[in-house]
Structure 1
Amino acid sequence: MIGTTQGIVDNIDPIMRKIGRPTVIPSAAADFGGFIGATPKYDVGFIGSFMPGKGLEFVEKLAIAAPQFSFVLYGDASKDLALSERLRRLGNVSLAGYVSPSKIGTALASFRVGLAPYDRAGFGEQGSAFIRADALSSLKILEYMSAGRVILASRIPAVEAMLTDGETAMLCDPDNPDSWTAGLDALIKNSEASDVLAAAARRRYQEHFSFESRAERFNTVIHGLMGIHPPKAAAEL
Structure 2
Amino acid sequence: MRIAYLHSGSIPSVYANGVHVMRMCDAFTDAGHEVVLYALAGTAPADDIHAYYGTRNRFEVHTVAQPATPGLGMWVRALRVRTELCRRGVPDVLYGRDPYALLACSDLAPLAYETHLMWQDRGIRAVERLLLRRANLRRVVFVSQALADDYRKSHPELAARRRVDLVTAHDCADPVPADGPVARLPGREQAVRIGYIGHLYPGRGTDVILALAGRLPEADFHLVGGTAEDRAHWESRSRLPNVYFHGHRPPAELPPYYRAFDIVLAPYQRRAYCAGGIGEISRWVSPMKLFEYMSYGKAVIASDLPVLREVLADGVNCLLCPPDSVADWERAVRRLTEDAALREALGTEARRQLEERYTWRARADRVLPAVQAPTRAGSR
Aligned position for 2:136: none
* Pairs within 5 Å for 1:121-200: 121-124=271-274, 127-200=276-349
Please tell me the residue identity of whatever aligns with 1:16.
Answer: L
What is the rounded CA distance, in whole Å, between the counterparts of 1:109 and 1:80 in structure 2?
Answer: 22
Query: Residues 53 and 119 of structure 1 are in contact (CA less than 8 Å); yes or no, is this contact kept in structure 2?
Result: yes
Q: 1:85 aligns with which of 226, 232, 236?
A: 236
Deviation at 1:124, TM superposition (A): 4.3
The CA RMSD over aligned residues, in Å, is 2.6
In 1: Cα distance, 2:159 partner to 2:172 partner:
24
Could you report, residue by residue, the CA deviation over 1:98-133 in whole angstroms, capped at 9, with x for unpaired residues? Answer: 1111111112112111110000122246x5413321
Assess if the C-alpha contact under 8 Å between 1:48 and 1:74 holds in 2. yes
Match of 2:352 among 203, 210, 216: 203
* Structure 2: distance between partners of 1:60 and 1:49: 15
RCO greater where, 1 or 2, for CA within 8 Å and sep 6 or more? 1
Between the aligned partners of 1:100 and 1:75, the Cα distance in structure 2 is 9
- Post-superposition offset of 1:135: 1.6
Match of 1:3 among 128, 132, 141: 141
Name the structure 2 match of 1:22. Answer: 166
Unpaired runs of 5+ residues, structure 2, are 1-138, 186-191, 373-380
Shift of 1:60: 0.5
Q: Report how far residue 168 of structure 1 moved.
A: 0.1
Distance change in 2, residues 1:153/1:93 (3 Å): same
**Alignment TM-score, normalising by the size of structure 2:** 0.53
Q: Distance in 2 between matches of 1:66 and 1:210?
A: 34
Structure 1 residue 217 displacement after superposition: 3.5
Give the match for residue 231 of structure 1.
Answer: none
CA 1:25/1:124 → structure 2, altered by over 3 Å: closer, same or farther? closer
* Contact persistence 2:265–2:300 (CA under 8 A): yes
1:35 and 1:8 map into 2 onto residues whose CA distance is 36
Aligned to 1:69: 219
State the distance in 1 between where 2:365 and 2:224 align: 33
Gaps of 5+ in 1: 227-237
1:181-229 CA distance string (max 9 Å, x none): 000010111000110000000011011111233245347xx56x99xxx
The residue identity in structure 2 corresponding to 1:153 is A
Q: Which has the larger radius of gyration?
A: 2
Distance 1:169 1:108, change over 3 A: same
> Which residue identity does 1:31 align to in structure 2?
P
Q: How many residues align?
A: 221
TM-score calculated relative to the size of structure 1: 0.83
Bigger helix share: 1
Of 50, 56, 59, which aligns to 2:206? 56
Q: Are 2:250 and 1:100 equivalent residues in the alignment?
A: yes
- Matching residue's letter, 1:188: T
Partner Cα distance (1:43, 1:36) in 2: 18
Residues 37 and 199 of structure 1: is their aligned pair in 2 closer, same or farther, counting only changes over 3 Å?
Answer: farther
Deviation at 1:156, TM superposition (A): 0.1
Establish whether residue 213 from structure 1 lines up as the match of residue 351 from structure 2.
Answer: no
Give 1:36 deviation, angstroms.
7.3
Q: Secondary structure at the match of 1:133?
A: coil
The structure 1 residue matched to 2:260, chosen from 102, 110, 131, is: 110
Moved more, 192-201 or 205-214: 205-214
Task: Work out the percentage of aligned pairs sharing the same amino acid.
Answer: 26
In 1, distance between residues paired with 2:181 and 2:366? 30
Letter in 2 for 1:111: F
Distance in 2, Cα, partners of 1:109 & 1:47: 12
Deviates more, 1:137-146 or 1:34-43: 34-43
Tell me the secondary structure at the aligned position of residue 344 of structure 2: helix
Deviation at residue 14 of structure 1 after TM alignment: 2.2
